[in-house]
Chain A
Amino acid sequence: MQAMKVRRAGRAVLAACAAAAMTAALAQTSAVDEIAKYRAALQDGNPAELWEARGEDLWKAPRGPKNVSFVTCDLGQGPGVVKGTYAQLPRYFADADRVMDLETRLVYCMVTQQGYTQPDAMKGPFGGPGNKSDIEALVAYVTSQSRGVKMNVPLAHPKEKEAFALGEKMFVYRGGTHDFSCATCHAEDGKRIRLQDLPNLMTVAGAQKAYTTWPAYRVSQGELRTFQWRLNDCFRQQRFPELIFTSDASIALTMYLARNANGAAFDAPAIKR
């Protein structure tokens, strides 16, 4: 009851609040403009290129106990085809009877063709100082070969439909100490966290802008980060436990977001804060 009264009182001063916010907004405009300049200055010379080059070498080199390269790996368009494949992932793979994103497919090829054990293939999905991730480099290379290609993720197979539907539900799942879901930050237009723009991933435009600019070189970390990393780190900040690399939930969410991005030209590896 008391609370309700306070709420009403709060509304009465709303207009005054808006006026105050406008004064503060003036200073804000210049801050946002300057951040835009900062981002523009970084575009020329993206260290992601270093990962792409390393990834290309890794893709072509014989590897693993069986000493074979990825040239026999089928990313969906036939063995060894790289160009344009990322724009059509995740997708259902009959040989594995599973919907797979790029990272999951790379691990699959490492195990089935190159002879790695599953745990070895899953090792080091995310690099850090002094330990470079082969997966991140491979992803950088493969994704770079879809630059400019229109996103065209299929939703034909029942398992593709299922993954999409599950991803859609997971997106709004609230949990953890802070009650956060993906939608807490990514379901409204024009919002920011600190000075970082938050894409509204529930709209086509928002999903397109966000999904087509991952992977990205993160200047805050000095690393190239993949979409698997993006999801893992969002959940970390949501105060959830740790999302398992290539888990079903990670693929379902990727499917949901990638499919929503259909029609937009893929434009990564990018560079971000």
Chain B
Amino acid sequence: MNSRRRNFLQTGGGMTLLTMLAATGWLTPRDAAAADGWNAAAFDTKSMDDTMKALGGGTPVPSKAITFVQTPDIAENGAVVPVGITSTIPNTQSIAILIEKNPNMLAAVFDIPAGTDPSISTRVKMGQSSNIVALVKADGKYYYAAKEVKVTLGGCGG
């Protein structure tokens, strides 16, 4: 299953990204979590099956207008992986970070109000080497770009 998911991503097939998008559950915050509007369902998707059930939103298309900045090909430690994403798609409304092989795929969603640069920089955890997907919502449509980041083992004690 993992490899299938990976293939879809690499070929840019809509199927997987559609489910990933559903996983973000972006459209309506529907969970009364501790923080206002925090979408528990979106952050809880663990498998393809879960995400299939929650289909919604449009099909994202690959976009060269989304770029990774300050995101290394190799992370010295998976506990802290710098990720920067910039979108030059007009009217970018949100930027989300998804990590394909993490237990829960969605890491973060940033809403970009008018007047704020469509560019964010943060640091995420990665359990293992994986694709990082930058998902951008602009004018109600969805776009994505993916980048593989390798996580290495380090130190002397394992």
Interface residues of A (CB under 8 A from B): 30-31, 34-35, 37-39, 41-42, 185, 193-196, 219-222, 236-237, 273
A193 to B158, CA, bound (A): 11
| A195–B72 CB distance below 8 A | no
| B74–A39 CB distance below 8 A | no
Contact of B155 among A31, A34, A194 (CB under 8 A): A194
| B156–A195 CB distance below 8 A | no
How near does chain A come to B124, taking the closest CB pair, in angstroms?
A: 12
A173 to B42, CA, bound (A): 55
Question: What residue in chain A is nearest B154 (Cβ atoms)?
Answer: A194
| A196–B155 CB distance below 8 A | yes
Interface residues on B, range: 20 to 34
Question: What residue in chain A is nearest B152 (Cβ atoms)?
Answer: A195
Binary contact readout B66-81 vs A (1 if CB under 8 angstroms, 0 otherwise):
0000111111110110
Tell me which residues across on chain A come within 8 A of B72, comparing CB atoms.
Answer: 34-35, 37-38, 41
Given contacts A38-B76, A221-B79, 11 further A-B contacts (CB under 8 A): A34-B74, A34-B150, A35-B76, A38-B74, A41-B82, A42-B123, A185-B156, A194-B155, A219-B80, A220-B155, A273-B77
Q: Is B115 in the interface zone, CB < 8 Å from A?
A: no
Contact of A237 among B71, B84, B153, B156 (CB under 8 A): B156
Contact of B153 among A31, A185, A194 (CB under 8 A): A194
A246 to B77, CA, bound (A): 30
| B157–A236 CB distance below 8 A | yes
CB neighbors of A among B86-109 (8 A): none
A42 to B79, CA, bound (A): 12
A-B contact pairs, 14 of them (CB 8 A): A31-B152, A35-B72, A38-B72, A41-B71, A41-B82, A41-B84, A195-B76, A195-B152, A196-B155, A219-B77, A220-B77, A220-B155, A237-B155, A273-B77
A219 to B75, CA, bound (A): 11
A221 to B79, CA, bound (A): 8
Question: What residue in chain B is nearest A219 (Cβ atoms)?
Answer: B80
| A219–B152 CB distance below 8 A | no
Tell me which residues across on chain B come within 8 A of A196, comparing CB atoms.
Answer: 76, 154-155
Contact of A194 among B75, B123, B152 (CB under 8 A): B152
Question: What residue in chain A is nearest B82 (Cβ atoms)?
Answer: A41
CB neighbors of A among B101-158 (8 A): 123, 150, 152-157
A81 to B157, CA, bound (A): 39
How near does chain B come to A212, taking the closest CB pair, in angstroms?
A: 20
A193 to B156, CA, bound (A): 7
A196 to B74, CA, bound (A): 13
Question: What residue in chain B is nearest A196 (Cβ atoms)?
Answer: B154
How near does chain B come to A9, taking the closest CB pair, in angstroms?
A: 31
How near does chain A come to B158, taking the closest CB pair, in angstroms?
A: 9
Tell me which residues across on chain A come within 8 A of B155, comparing CB atoms.
Answer: 193-194, 196, 220, 237, 273
